[in-house]
Amino acid sequence: MKINKKKLLFVCLGNICRSPAAEGVMKSIINANKANAYYEVDSAGIGNWHVGQLPDSRMRACGLKRGYVFNSHARQFTKSDFQYYIFVMDQENYRQITSQTQNENERKKVVMLADYITQHANVKIIADPYYGNEKDFNNALDLIEDACQQLFVALETS
């Protein structure tokens, strides 16, 4: 029997901070729940500046302190990625990705990851920590963990 996997794609600007962290956190949650056979998880960036690179060393360090290994290589979003459900980090990511949709079905697949945040009041985006410090990276990771936990629950009950 063939299993139809739920395909999830996390998108940020350059695919070296937020989206690879979300990919790693979600994979960890899925693995902990022994649900690997039911999901395909990836990440991509809007731009091509970092294609082929590992995630930012600061994000990898923050993730490692929490038990995550962020080791995916950056890639740029392509139109073929509309096969996934797409979770973006901020309004500019949303605008950039939805501007590439061909139809309403594709547009409906693009959602703000922050919509799943429940533990942090009034947060509407997952801000880019790239020009910040360790506190900014940890804050982004706090939000990503919260959102991914809730997203997993939502996917498992849908």
| Residue entry with tokens 């290589």 | 73
Among this protein's residues, is 18 annotated catalytic?
Answer: yes
Catalytic residue among 17, 18, 56, 148: 18
Q: Which of 4, 46, 12, 5 is nearest to 27 (CA)?
A: 5
Count Cβ atoms within 10 A of the Cβ of residue 64 and give its class: 0-12 exposed, 13-18 middle, 19 or more buried: exposed
Count Cβ atoms within 10 A of the Cβ of residue 103 and give its class: 0-12 exposed, 13-18 middle, 19 or more buried: exposed
Among this protein's residues, is 142 annotated catalytic?
Answer: no
Residues 6 or more apart whose Cβ sits within 8 Å of residue 9? 41, 42, 43, 44, 77, 81, 84, 85, 86, 87
Catalytic residue among 12, 17, 62, 148: 12
User: By the 8 A CB rule, do 152 and 118 touch?
Assistant: no
How far is it, in rounded angstroms, from Cα 76 to Cα 66? 27
Catalytic residue among 56, 81, 128, 146: 128
Among this protein's residues, is 81 annotated catalytic?
Answer: no
Give the catalytic positions in this structure. 12, 18, 128
